[in-house]
Structure 1
Amino acid sequence: MAEDVPAAGGTPPRTDTSVPHSARVWNYWLGGKDYYPADKRAGDAYREVFPGIELLARASRGFLVRSIRHMAGEAGLRQFLDVGTGLPTADNTHQVAQRVAPESRVVYVDHDPLVLAHARALLTSTPQGATAYVDADLRHPDTVLAEAARTLDLEQPVGLIFSGTLGHIPDYDEARSIVRRLLAALPSGSFLSLNEGADTYEAANRAQEAYNSSGAIPYVLRPVEQIAGFFDGLELVEPGLVPCPYWRPDREPAGDPAEEVNHGAVGRKP
Structure 2
Amino acid sequence: MIPDTLSPGQYDTVYNFLSLVIAAQLFTAVFLLISLPRILPRYRAAITVAIVVCGIAAYHYFRIFDSFKAAFVTEAAGGQGDYAQAAGVGFNEGYRYVDWLLTVPLLLVELIAVLALARSVQTRLLRGLVPAAALMIILGYPGEISGDNGVRGLFGLLSTIPFLYILYVLFVQLSKSLDRQPASVRATLGRLRYLLLLSWGVYPIAYLLPLLNIAGSDAWVYKQVGYSVADILAKAVYALIIFQVARMKSFNDDPTFAAIELSRDEEPARS
Structure having the larger proportion of residues in strand: 1
Q: Could you state the TM-score of these two structures normalised by the residue count of structure 2? A: 0.25
Q: Which has the higher helix share?
A: 2
TM-score (norm 1): 0.25
